[in-house]
Amino acid sequence: MRDIAFQLVYNPGCAKTLAEWAAVFAVGEKTLARITLKETGMSFARWAMHFRLLPAMRALFDGVSVEEAAGIAGFQTTAAFINAFTRVFGVTPGKWRDTEQGNGPWLTPATNLPRD
């Protein structure tokens, strides 16, 4: 799981599916899905998207625009980024930046990854 998280955070454009990740580690899709749920309490897709969005959250925290954050997270469009961010965190990235930053549970030891 750590290797996958590392790739998702440091290569946000990585869009490998559960099947592709399972093949990388030579395990079954169901096994990887079960491990993810057991270790994180989230589905693989939700967990992967969470990690993909973390660099964008860091950037928003640092004051970049939503459009710039979308690019940092590897999204082709700002709209797709806003939709994904809202699905995962329950608030739009702009609203999070303006009202929530630094006060939410997103910055935990598991997600507080070092900057480059």
> Rounded CA gap, 96 and 84, in Å?
13
Superfamily of domain 2-100, CATH level 4: Homeodomain-like (1.10.10.60)
pLDDT in tens, 30-39: 999 999 999 9
Domain boundaries, the chain: 2-100
Query: Is 4's pLDDT higher than 90?
Result: no
Is 0.95 surpassed by the pTM of this model?
no
Contacts of 91 (CB under 8 A, 6+ apart): 85, 100
Whole-number pLDDT of residue 54:
87
Task: Please state the rounded mean pLDDT for residues 55-60.
Answer: 90
Query: Is 108's pLDDT higher than 70?
Result: no
